Amino acid sequence: MKRCKILIAIYSMLLLSSSSFAQSSVNDLVKEWERAKAYTKEYLDAMPAEKYRYKPTPEMRTFAEQMLHLSATNYAFAAAAAGNKSPYGMGELEKTTDKSKENITKIVIAGYDFVIGGLKKISPEQLNEKIQLFGKFDMARTQVFEKAFEHQTHHRGQTTVYLRLAGVKPPQEKLF
C-alpha cells in the first residue's frame, strides 16, 4: 500500500510539472508573438505612407501587400491551431483595396491580436494535440503556431529591403 501511495505521489508530481511546463510554453509563445507584433508595428510605422504601394520589381508584392499576406497567414494558421473561425476567408484579406498605411496597420495589428487571443485560450494540454492543417499536414497545434511565426518572420524580413530601397532605416532587430 505504501509503495502504491509513493507511485501515485510521483505520478502526480510528474503531471503537475508537465502541466506547469506546458503552461510556461503557452506563456512563452504569447510573449514571442507580442514581441513580433511590436517589431512588425515598428516596420509599419517606419515606412512612409506614400511608399505603402512601393514594390522593388514589377513581379513582387507592394509593401502593403507583403504585410497583408503576412497577416492573412497569421489568421489562417491561428484559426486552425486554436480551432477558431477566422474573420477572413482564404485569400480574402489580400484583396483588400484600401492599402493606406492606417488601414494596413489596423489589419496587421488585429491579425497579431487574433493569434495572441487564440493562444491565450488554448490549454497546455491542447498545445500538443495533433490537428490536420489545411486538410493535409498532421502536426501538433504548437507546431502550427511555430510555422506561422516562421512565416511572419520571413515576410517581415523581406520588407527590410523595401524600407532600405525607400530610403528608410529599418527598425533595430528585436530578438529579445
What CATH number does residue 71 fall under?
1.20.120.450
Is the pLDDT assigned to residue 126 strictly greater than 70?
yes
DSSP sequence for 135-165? TTEEEEHHHHHHHHHHHHHHHHHHHHHHHHH
- Reported as a single tens digit per residue, the pLDDT across 56-104 is 999 999 999 999 999 999 999 999 999 899 999 888 998 999 999 999 9
Residue 19's alpha-carbon distances to 26, 32, 99, 102, in angstroms, are 11, 20, 43, 41
Q: Which three cell numbers stand for residue 175?
A: 530578438
What letter does residue 88 receive in the DSSP assignment?
S
| Residue 2 belongs to some domain of the structure | no
End-to-end CA distance of the chain: give it in Å, rounded.
Answer: 50
Query: Would you place residue 14 in the very low, low, confident or very high pLDDT band (cuts 50, 70, 90)?
Result: very low
- Reported as a single tens digit per residue, the pLDDT across 131-165 is 887 888 898 999 999 999 999 999 999 999 999 99
Q: Which three cell numbers stand for residue 88?
A: 477572413
| Residue 1 belongs to some domain of the structure | no
| Residue 78 belongs to some domain of the structure | yes
Helix (H) or strand (E) holding 16: helix 2-46
State the total domains in the chain.
1
**pLDDT value, residue 23:** 52
**pLDDT value, residue 12:** 42
Instruction: Identify the weakest region by mean pLDDT among 20-24, 45-49, 123-127.
Output: 20-24
Q: Which residues are annotated as a binding site?
A: 69, 151, 155
Q: Which residues are annotated as a binding site for a divalent metal cation?
A: 69, 151, 155
The residue segments making up the domain with residue 54 are 25-165
**pLDDT value, residue 152:** 97
| Residue 32 belongs to some domain of the structure | yes
| Residue 34 belongs to some domain of the structure | yes
